[in-house]
């Protein structure tokens, strides 16, 4: 009866728990791992600066928007918004998304790479160092410029981190973003432990390692929103997905926060 009441009460507050065993695991949470982009932060990037190399700003943005035209990554959404114009899909003959790195596409016959420094390194393209989150673009294996983007923490993130810490829970941030963007976000949110530049499999490796270091009665939760978070959501004792996140994350998770508010994480622990 207690489980029924708990799950019912949680769902009335927009916290969907997919089984009573998860309610029990939540009550033993000792470590909470958070994804950054789209989980702790809004995931609504704004383009703050473009720095083309050998082409105009408009051309650079056009290549990026076309490359990102089929992605639902928060970065892709912001690039398309900054571009503003319609995208002629017939110009895009090939397109693949490389998790944690970016996009490779063929646009009007040119091979376009659009992503982070790791993607550029994979194709041996030299690119300048930059602070914060940046998107590098290369056309036909030649560096074509960078697009700087910025994201903001969600309203309830810092408060959620504080509540969890007060509750004796360890908070760690795991992100695929670069070190400087990770450090800036961690500082704003009061998070001291973080890991940056992670691929999806690194997130689940860290989750499994944390799990193995805890006794049986202490549990690890992972909170995430993206396709890249699915392996870690499955690896954790309790996977928590952001309701506004991708379907893959929601499927992989044991708990879904329908209101996409992180203060519902400490609320769920209290309720459990």
Residues forming the active site: 35
Query: Does 135 participate in binding ligand ADP (rule CB under 6 A)?
Result: yes
With beta carbons less than 8 A apart as the criterion, state whether 252 and 230 touch: yes
Site for ligand ADP in 223-252 (CB under 6 A): 226, 228
Q: What is the closest distance, in whole angstroms, from the C-beta atom of residue 42 to ligand ADP in the complex?
A: 12
Residues 168-207, one symbol each (x = binds ligand ADP by CB under 6 A, - = not), give: -------xxx------------------------------
Stretch that binds ligand ADP, among 11-19, 68-76, 212-220, 235-243 (CB under 6 A): 68-76
Choose the contact partner of 220 out of ligand ADP, Mg ion, none; CB within 5 to 8 A by kind.
Answer: none
Choose the contact partner of 61 out of Mg ion, ligand ADP, none; CB within 5 to 8 A by kind.
Answer: none
Query: Does 35 participate in binding Mg ion (rule CB under 5 A)?
Result: yes
Nearest 5 degrees, angle CA 206-CA 208-CA 213? 95
Find the largest Cα–Cα distance for the chain.
Answer: 68
Q: Which secondary-structure segment (H or E) carries 195?
A: strand 193-195
Residue from 7, 50, 69, 102 in contact with ligand ADP (CB under 6 A): 102
Query: Does 50 participate in binding ligand ADP (rule CB under 6 A)?
Result: no
Burial 150-170 (b: 16+ CB within 10 A, else e): bbebbebbbbbbebbbeeebb
Q: What is the closest distance, in whole angstroms, from the C-beta atom of residue 83 to ligand ADP in the complex?
A: 14
| Residue with token string 């996977």 | 239
Q: Which of 167, 223, 161 shows the shortest CA–CA distance to 188?
A: 161
Coil, helix or strand at residue 166:
helix
Site for Mg ion in 212-251 (CB under 5 A): 225-226
Residue from 34, 37, 186, 238 in contact with Mg ion (CB under 5 A): 37
CB-nearer residue toward Mg ion: 78 or 272: 78
For residue 188 the two structure tokens come to 């704003």
Q: How many CB atoms lie within 10 A of CB 129?
A: 8
Q: What is the closest distance, in whole angstroms, from the C-beta atom of residue 225 to ligand ADP in the complex?
A: 7
Coil, helix or strand at residue 191:
coil
CB-nearer residue toward Mg ion: 34 or 63: 34
Contacts within 8 Å (CB) and 24+ apart, 141-144 = 141/111, 142/54, 143/53, 144/52, 144/53, 144/54, 144/55, 144/60, 144/63
Q: Which secondary-structure segment (H or E) carries 124?
A: none
Stretch that binds ligand ADP, among 69-77, 121-129, 153-161, 215-223 (CB under 6 A): 69-77
Query: What does the DSSP 8-state code read for residue 40?
Result: I
Stretch that binds Mg ion, among 38-46, 137-145, 159-167, 207-215 (CB under 5 A): 38-46
Choose the contact partner of 117 out of Mg ion, ligand ADP, none; CB within 5 to 8 A by kind.
Answer: none
Query: Which residues of this chain interact with Mg ion, rule CB under 5 A?
Result: 35, 37-38, 225-226
């Amino acid at each position: 009866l207690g489980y029924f009441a708990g799950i019912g009460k949680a769902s009335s507050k927009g916290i969907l728990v997919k089984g009573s065993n998860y309610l029990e695991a939540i009550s033993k949470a000792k470590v909470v791992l958070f994804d950054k982009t789209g989980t702790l932060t809004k995931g609504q990037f704004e383009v703050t600066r473009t720095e083309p190399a050998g082409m105009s700003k408009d051309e650079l943005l056009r290549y990026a928007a076309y490359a990102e035209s089929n992605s639902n990554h928060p970065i892709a959404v912001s690039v398309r918004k900054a571009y503003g114009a319609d995208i002629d899909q017939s110009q895009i003959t090939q397109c693949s998304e490389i998790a944690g790195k970016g996009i490779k596409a063929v646009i009007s016959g040119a091979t376009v790479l659009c992503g982070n420094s790791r993607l550029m390194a994979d194709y041996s393209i030299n690119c300048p160092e930059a602070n914060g989150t940046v998107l590098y673009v290369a056309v036909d294996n030649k560096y074509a410029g960078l697009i700087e983007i910025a994201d903001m923490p969600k309203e309830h993130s810092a408060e959620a981190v504080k509540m969890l810490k007060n509750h004796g829970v360890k908070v760690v941030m795991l992100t695929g973003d670069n070190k400087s963007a990770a450090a800036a976000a961690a500082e704003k949110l009061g998070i001291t432990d973080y890991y940056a530049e992670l691929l999806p499999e690194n997130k689940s490796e860290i989750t499994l390692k944390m799990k193995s270091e805890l006794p049986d009665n202490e549990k690890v939760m992972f909170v995430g929103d993206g396709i890249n978070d699915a392996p870690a959501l499955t690896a954790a004792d309790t996977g928590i997905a952001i309701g506004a996140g991708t379907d893959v994350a929601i499927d992989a998770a044991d708990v879904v926060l329908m209101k996409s508010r992180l203060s519902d994480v400490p609320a769920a622990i209290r309720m459990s």
